């Protein structure tokens, strides 16, 4: 048997949805360092490799499952499997998300709009519905959703994405108000530009729509950031860990901006 874990989350169970890559992977690594038992999920089968990398000697502290967050039955099954294996769910961190294909509102295919809303808004709602009964039963818990600095204003070529993150903030605030009496908090992290493959792909797609190079697009976007660069995924993971910890116990319904100053409000 491995030694008992130590850290802020020793004895706690953290469910991370979207844990295979980028911010989700960094979040899983951060919670693992803090001693948490992890229930990792992603539609990407690479989540199983992540679990293998983070697992302890006896494999008791990390589980992985392929899940489509737009499917209510799969979300419920994930929560049930987590409780069966670990006995509780202390933190739900929903990191999974997609960008829309760049398009003017006038040209945005409704199928693309539906796809983005399904993953970015419906998915976190379904996950909250799946874990809330367990969190109420155990006397509390923390829900952390990942919104965006695009959740405050509409932006050209990304109207559907902005709408999905606006709605996610509203749902998170509603959960916060409804569940406070049950000892459950709900908050968002609202990242700015994060230097992941998803961000680089968005830059390439927008560059193509504007008829410029990807490097020119990057310079345009990064020049808008007072700190001068997109952050590494670990910076967002640190914020998620904070909101999942007891250090944030008096925060609920909040959106924590981690954006390098690109949006000041």
pLDDT tens track for 188-221: 999 999 988 878 887 888 888 889 998 999 888 8
Query: Residue 217 is part of which domain span?
Result: 193-230
Q: What is the C-alpha separation between 21 and 203, in angstroms, rounded? A: 18
Long-range (24+ apart) CB contacts under 8 A made by 223-228 are 224/262, 225/192, 225/193, 225/259, 225/260, 225/261, 225/262, 226/260, 226/261, 226/262, 227/260, 227/261, 228/260
**pLDDT the model gives residue 49:** 94
Same structural domain, 103 and 134: yes
What CA–CA distance (Å, rounded) separates 39 from 19?
9
On the question of pLDDT at 2 being above 50, the answer is no
Tens of pLDDT along 106-164? 999 999 999 999 999 999 999 999 999 999 999 999 999 999 999 999 999 899 999 99
Please say if the pLDDT value at position 223 is more than 70.
Answer: yes
The first and second tokens of residue 147, run together, are 């919104």
* Segment (H or E) for 257: strand 255-258
Question: Whole-model pTM?
Answer: 0.92
As annotated, the active-site residues are 161
Residues 181 and 214 in one domain: no
* Whole-number percent of the chain with pLDDT over 70: 96
The pLDDT of residue 174 is above 90:
yes
- Consecutive H or E run containing 224: none
Considering the domain architecture, whether residues 39 and 89 belong to the same structural domain is answered as yes
User: Per-residue confidence at 56, pLDDT binned at 50, 70, 90?
Assistant: low
Mean pLDDT of the chain: 93
Residue at 57 is within a domain: yes
CATH of the domain at 146: 3.40.50.720
| Confidence bin at 179 (pLDDT 50/70/90) | very high
1: pLDDT strictly greater than 50: no
Residues 131 and 223 in one domain: no
Tokens of 20: 């295979």
Q: How confident is the model at residue 59 (pLDDT cuts 50, 70, 90)?
A: low
Kindly state whether residues 72 and 109 are assigned to the same domain: yes
Asked, for residue 1, whether it belongs to a domain, the answer is no
pLDDT value at residue 221: 86
Domain count, the chain: 2
């Amino acid at each position: 048997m491995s030694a008992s874990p130590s850290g802020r989350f020793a004895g706690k169970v953290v469910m991370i949805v979207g844990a295979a890559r980028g911010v989700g992977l960094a979040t899983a690594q951060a919670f693992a360092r803090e001693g948490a038992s992890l229930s990792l999920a992603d539609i990407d089968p690479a989540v199983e490799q992540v679990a293998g990398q983070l697992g302890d000697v006896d494999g008791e502290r990390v589980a992985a499952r392929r899940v489509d967050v737009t499917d209510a039955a799969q979300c419920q099954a994930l929560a049930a499997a987590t409780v069966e294996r670990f006995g509780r769910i202390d933190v739900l961190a929903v990191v999974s998300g997609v960008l829309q294909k760049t398009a003017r509102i006038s040209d945005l295919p409704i199928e693309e709009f539906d796809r983005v809303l399904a993953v970015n808004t419906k998915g976190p709602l379904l996950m909250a519905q799946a874990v809330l009964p367990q969190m109420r039963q155990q006397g509390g818990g923390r829900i952390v959703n990942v919104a965006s600095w695009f959740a405050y204003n509409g932006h050209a070529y990304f109207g559907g994405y902005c709408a999905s993150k606006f709605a996610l903030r509203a749902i998170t605030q509603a959960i916060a108000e409804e569940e406070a009496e049950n000892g459950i908090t709900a908050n968002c992290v609202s990242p700015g530009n994060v230097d992941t493959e998803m961000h680089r792909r968005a830059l390439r797609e927008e560059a193509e729509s504007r008829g410029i190079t990807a490097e020119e697009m990057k310079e345009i976007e990064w020049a808008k950031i007072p700190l001068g660069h997109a952050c590494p995924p670990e910076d967002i993971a640190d914020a998620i860990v904070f909101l999942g910890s007891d250090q944030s116990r008096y925060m609920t319904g909040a959106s924590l901006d981690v954006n390098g100053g690109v949006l000041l409000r």
